Amino acid sequence: MEQFLNIFLGGLLIGGIYSLVSMGLSLQYGVAKVLNIAHGEFLMIGAFATYWLQESGVDPLLTVVIVGPVMFLVGFLLYRTVFTSIRLRSAHPGIYESNSLLAAFGIYFIVQNIGILIWGTTPHSYTYLNTSISVAGALFTQNRIVAAAFAVVIGIAFYLFLTNTRTGKAIRAAAQDPSTAGLMGVNIDFVLALCFGFGAAMAGVAGSLISICYSLSTSMGLGYTVIAIVVVTLGGLGSIPGSFIGGFVLGIIGSAVSYWQPGLTVASYYVIFIILLLVRPKGIMGK
Amino acid sequence: MHLLEGEKVTKYFGGLAAVSEVDFYVDEGEILGLIGPNGAGKTTLFNLISAALEPKPGVIKFRDEQINGLRPYKICRLGIARTFQTVKIFGNLPVIENVRVGSLFGPLKGLSTAEATKVALELLEFVGLSKVAYTPARDMTLVNQKRLEVARALATKPTLLLLDELMAGLNQTELLDTMELVKQIQKKGITIIMIEHVMKAIMGICDRIIVLHHGKKIADGTPEEVANSKKVIEVYLGEASDAGS
Amino acid sequence: MNFSSINWKRAAMQPGIPVLLLILVALAPLYGSGYIVTLFTYFILYMVLSVSWTIFSGSTGYISLASAAFYGVGIYAAAMFGERMPFIFVILIGGIASFILAFIVGAITLRLRGIYFAMFTFGLVVLMKEVIHYWEITIEGTRGHFVIYQSNETIFYYLLGIFIVTMIVAYIIRKSRYGLALASIGENEEAAGHTGINVTMVKVITFAISAVFMGAAGAVMATKFTYIDPGVAFNPMMSFSPALMAIFGGMGSIYGPVVGAVFFSYLQEWLMTGSLKNYYMLIFGAILVLTIIYLPSGITGLIQNLWRRIRGARSAPTRG
């Protein structure tokens, strides 16, 4: 029973982070139609940025305020320079999707290489709120709880932004049907760039939160990208609540598998992904 | 025996019935018109016949054999060819290659490559595109792209041809030419079902007309019968007054 | 473009210069140093991978990122059977095993949308790496395998043989009615289906055929490594490189992927041995992005366009 609780709560805590990463990818893939394989690299950059800032004395949680906007800008500009021109040159959406996937791979190599040039390949870590507290008999470090709580709050705040503001509604309209949204006076290139920017910001912030509880390395990104892809498929393409819930589901599954067979955690994500694609490509929340 | 027959053909999208319990048939040699307001389910019905979609529930029979559940290429090889409402040509391939795809893969027994070329050239002549046989299909006008689709469909040696809005957006001369083309196809012994909004064309060449509205069949008869049907007039007048308000 | 009529006499005469180059390459072990032979071996390896990638992905537009999986299957075939049977059978096993894997993967995934197919194939590489790694560690209690040794010349000539077969098959597919079917699937899959093409069958078979050469090449290359483990065998770079090479070289011509392969393997060799070693991925990525934005039809496409323009400029005055 205690073991079960341990696995379950551990899964929920990491699940909060997965949710945030996946909501970011959901915006990029579900709305902007870029399967951004470099998503995890933005996370890695965010994590190292926080590491840098805390070394010069900034509170790691405060770095979120810097990392978020900066990553947003990076993502926004990246979309405007690279993906907009691919979109405009593509004969049909299928070509746009595959070409932007390949371009995203290119960006992955570039960012990864830059990361290695600056931070090398050895793992880095620092300590923050490292004392353990007991939750229903299971022990967890404070930093994990704080990180998960932050992730959930940011996730919910973003969802409210989508449902209650004009910009948020434009994004949701674009997710439904880009051409109609364009007709209704939404500047589609701008909105898609916004989505890409928000996606990058979420990845960056998730990276900051990860850095306060786990060690970081320049190769950490791809693993999170894979998780985000599985979650986005699980939750249903373009469904933000779907990604949010899917993150927790995958967190719990991952927590259980790694308790039973740590060597098969990543493989289990792929197996889930494959089964989903074959059985229900629309995802659990898809219509 | 009807050539093609549908019994209670139904298709739901989400909770909405795009086609609802439609019974229909077409006899050998006929030209059957399929009309109805936008969103009436006409193209969906074509998609069901050509197996782009599967009816649920419902049965479609071709020469008394059930054909729903088969894959599109099988339907094509059985002798049912189609064109598309929004053209789906092979844009980067030359015009003649578009047609050769049809003659090489469409008939139950494929042709040799030399025969296929010969057939393709004849069909391009037939639809009036022989001059542009070697230009990429995407460089043609929309009118000619639609004609190319007809040639490609004919290349598959169909007994039944489904034409989806062949005449939309044509000027007067083009319209008359195209009506003539449809009659010529009928003379080859090919049965035709055509979706059309151009009433003049429909009334002029169809032997029989089916009217769909909100996925349901509301009329089925000769052009005169349909034109005088109260229900049909209501639907079309209703639409006209909607548009006017 | 004219499909399905192969003029064999012309086909034999036309590629004069490429055949001459091929003979020159084939004689490399006679005049070249060991370094040249190894360099050419890598050229040919990447030529095989990118040409076979293009056979399927170039015409249908489905981006496969499974090349590394098929290549890795070939490598493992050599590790498992290398000592038990003649080399040529090992290569055949590598090819056939890849064919079967690709056939199964194709049959279950090629009804998905293109982007899912790309993800799935990429996942396949990582999945195989993880699962084999786990198998070796927990069940066999080992990590990796030794592979029987072959001389550099043997490896070179076997690869060259595979390359020639790959080119011939790619040529036949491109020019046959089968190639027309593939091209029409790439242009509009739905219309291709309604025009009598068994779309799924054509896609699955082509995907499986393209995998044969990757598997065979893997079986040959394994003997060069002498020791292999899942990390070496299932390296995702072996999925990206062929795709990039083909796109960069241009897929409109059968020589495009060959040009791309030579360019990138030389670039890789040059960067990896020079002072820019640490920037290899950065440069690789930048070229990938720039190619997709500015050279969608690749180098050969660019040359063809330029050539057409030059000829057009020359003939224009005489016409007018």
Is pLDDT of C8 > 80? no
Q: In the listed set B113, B130, B157, which residue is the last one of a domain according to the structure?
A: B157
How confident is the model over B188-233, as pLDDT tens digits? 999 999 998 888 888 889 999 999 988 888 889 898 888 888 888 8
Give the Cα separation of A62 and A170 in Å (integer): 30
Q: How far is C287 from chain A, CA to nearest CA, in Å?
A: 8
Interface partners of chain A (CB pairs < 8 Å, 3 or more) are C
Q: In the listed set B157, B181, B211, which residue is the last one of a domain according to the structure?
A: B157
Same domain, yes or no: B72 and B8? yes
In a domain, B210, yes or no: yes
Q: Look at residue B243 in the predicted model and tell me its pLDDT.
A: 43
Same domain, yes or no: B163 and B61? yes
Comparing alpha-carbon positions, the chain A residue that sits nearest to C136 is A263
How confident is the model over A39-96, as pLDDT tens digits? 999 999 999 999 999 888 888 888 889 999 999 999 999 999 999 999 888 777 777 8
What is the domain range of residue B233? 4-79+158-244
Q: Look at residue B245 in the predicted model and tell me its pLDDT.
A: 38
CA distances from C121 to A121, B124, C185, C240, C258 (A): 27, 41, 19, 11, 23
Across the interface, do C109 and A277 touch by the CB < 8 Å criterion?
yes
CB atoms near residue B167 (< 10 Å): 23
List, in sequence order, every residue forming a beta bridge with B210; answer none if it has no partner.
B34, B220
How confident is the model over C53-77, as pLDDT tens digits? 999 998 888 889 999 999 999 999 9
Q: Are A84 and C256 in contact (CB under 8 A)?
A: no
Q: Are C27 and C142 in contact (CB under 8 A)?
A: no
C132-153: average pLDDT:
86
Is C86 at the interface with chain B, CB within 8 A? no
C93-108: average pLDDT:
94
Q: Look at residue C318 in the predicted model and tell me its pLDDT.
A: 39
Is pLDDT of C317 > 50? no
Q: How far is A42 from chain C, CA to nearest CA, in Å?
A: 16
List, in sequence order, every residue forming a beta bridge with B80; answer none if it has no partner.
B160
Domains and CATH numbers, chain C: 34-319 (1.10.3470)
Residue type, B132: V
CA atoms within 13 Å, Cβ hemisphere of C315 = 6
How confident is the model over C261-288, as pLDDT tens digits? 999 899 888 888 888 888 888 998 998 8
Same domain, yes or no: B193 and B207? yes
Q: Which residues of A touch C247 (CB under 8 A)?
A: 102
Q: Look at residue C6 in the predicted model and tell me its pLDDT.
A: 62
Q: Looking at residue B182, which CATH number applies to its domain?
A: 3.40.50.300
Q: How far is C222 from chain B, CA to nearest CA, in Å?
A: 40
Same domain, yes or no: B65 and B168? yes
Domains in chain B: how many in total?
Answer: 2
Across the interface, do C282 and A85 touch by the CB < 8 Å criterion?
no
Same domain, yes or no: B168 and B240? yes
Q: Which residues of C touch A281 (CB under 8 A)?
A: 112, 116
Same domain, yes or no: B166 and B150? no
Q: Look at residue A283 in the predicted model and tell me its pLDDT.
A: 65
Residue C289's Cβ-count burial label (10 Å; 0-12, 13-18, 19+) is buried
Across the interface, do C285 and A98 touch by the CB < 8 Å criterion?
no
In a domain, B34, yes or no: yes
Is C281 at the interface with chain A, CB within 8 A? yes
Question: Which of the given ranges, A47-51, A273-277, C308-312, has the highest pLDDT on average?
Answer: A47-51
C305 token code pair: 């366009």
Q: How confident is the model at residue C25 (pLDDT cuts 50, 70, 90)?
A: confident
B218 three-state secondary structure = strand
Is pLDDT of C255 > 80? yes
Across the interface, do C1 and B97 touch by the CB < 8 Å criterion?
yes
| DSSP result, chain C | ---S---HHHHHHTTHHHHHHHHHHHTHHHHS-HHHHHHHHHHHHHHHHHHHHIIIIIHH------HHHHHHHHHHHHHHHTTTS-HHHHHHHHHHHHHHHHHHHHHHHTTS-HHHHHHHHHHHHHHHHHHHHHIIIIII----EE-----HHHHHHHHHHHHHHHHHHHHHHHHSHHHHHHHHHHH-HHHHHHTT--HHHHHHHHHHHHHHHHHHHHHHHHHHHSEE-HHHHT-THHHHHHHHHHHHH-SSSTTHHHHHHHHHHHHHHHHHHSTTGGGHHHHHHHHHHHHHHH-TTHHHHHHHHHHHHHHHHHHHHHH-
Same domain, yes or no: B127 and B20? no
> For chain A, what are the domain ranges?
2-226
More confident residue, C89 or C276: C89
Comparing alpha-carbon positions, the chain A residue that sits nearest to C135 is A263
Across the interface, do C177 and B104 touch by the CB < 8 Å criterion?
yes
Is C275 at the interface with chain A, CB within 8 A? no
Q: Are C53 and C67 in contact (CB under 8 A)?
A: yes
Q: How far is B245 from chain C, CA to nearest CA, in Å?
A: 39
Is pLDDT of A7 > 70? yes
Question: Which of the given ranges, A129-138, B116-125, C123-132, has the highest pLDDT on average?
Answer: B116-125
How confident is the model over A183-231, as pLDDT tens digits? 566 788 888 899 999 999 999 999 999 998 888 999 899 889 989 988 9
Same domain, yes or no: B165 and B212? yes
CA atoms within 13 Å, Cβ hemisphere of C242 = 33
Strands B59-62 and B4-13: antiparallel
Q: How far is C59 from chain B, CA to nearest CA, in Å?
A: 12
In a domain, B203, yes or no: yes
> For an interface test with C, which of B73, B103, B145 has the most C Cβ atoms less than 10 Å from its Cβ?
B73
Same domain, yes or no: B93 and B186? no
Is B89 at the interface with chain C, CB within 8 A? yes
Q: How far is B72 from chain C, CA to nearest CA, in Å?
A: 5
Q: Which residues of C touch A99 (CB under 8 A)?
A: 292, 296
Task: Please give the angle made by the CA atoms of C196, B182 and B210, to the nearest 5 degrees.
Answer: 85
CA distances from A50 to A135, A145, A209, C38, C266 (A): 27, 18, 9, 45, 39
Across the interface, do B93 and C190 touch by the CB < 8 Å criterion?
no
Q: How confident is the model at residue C192 (pLDDT cuts 50, 70, 90)?
A: very high
Q: Look at residue C33 in the predicted model and tell me its pLDDT.
A: 84
Residues C240, C242, C245, C247, Cα dihedral to 10°: -80
Q: Which residues of C touch A264 (CB under 8 A)?
A: 130-131, 134
Same domain, yes or no: B105 and B223? no
Residue C285 has its nearest CB partner, among A101, A108, A266, at A108
Taking the alpha carbons at both ends of chain B, their separation in whole angstroms is 47
Q: In the listed set B110, B128, B157, which residue is the last one of a domain according to the structure?
A: B157
Which of B75-79, C28-32, C53-57, C181-185 is predicted with the least confidence, judged by mean pLDDT?
C28-32
Q: Look at residue A285 in the predicted model and tell me its pLDDT.
A: 60
Q: How confident is the model at residue C306 (pLDDT cuts 50, 70, 90)?
A: confident
Residue C195 has its nearest CB partner, among B106, B113, B116, at B106
Same domain, yes or no: B221 and B210? yes
Q: Which residues of C touch A106 (CB under 8 A)?
A: 284-289, 292
Give the Cα separation of B197 and B166 in Å (integer): 10
DSSP code at position B136: B
A72-75: long-range contacts (C-beta < 8 A, 24 or more apart)? A72/A197, A72/A198, A72/A200, A72/A201, A72/A204, A73/A197, A74/A42, A74/A197, A74/A200, A75/A42, A75/A196, A75/A197, A75/A198, A75/A199, A75/A200, A75/A201
Task: Please give the angle made by the CA atoms of C7, B135 and B130, to the nearest 5 degrees.
Answer: 90
Same domain, yes or no: B119 and B228? no
Percent of chain A at pLDDT > 70 equals 94
Q: Which residue numbers in chain B have pLDDT < 70?
A: 237-245
Q: Look at residue C31 in the predicted model and tell me its pLDDT.
A: 83
In a domain, B57, yes or no: yes
| Complex-level ipTM | 0.90
C213-238: average pLDDT:
92
How confident is the model over A94-128, as pLDDT tens digits? 778 878 888 998 999 999 999 999 998 888 888 88
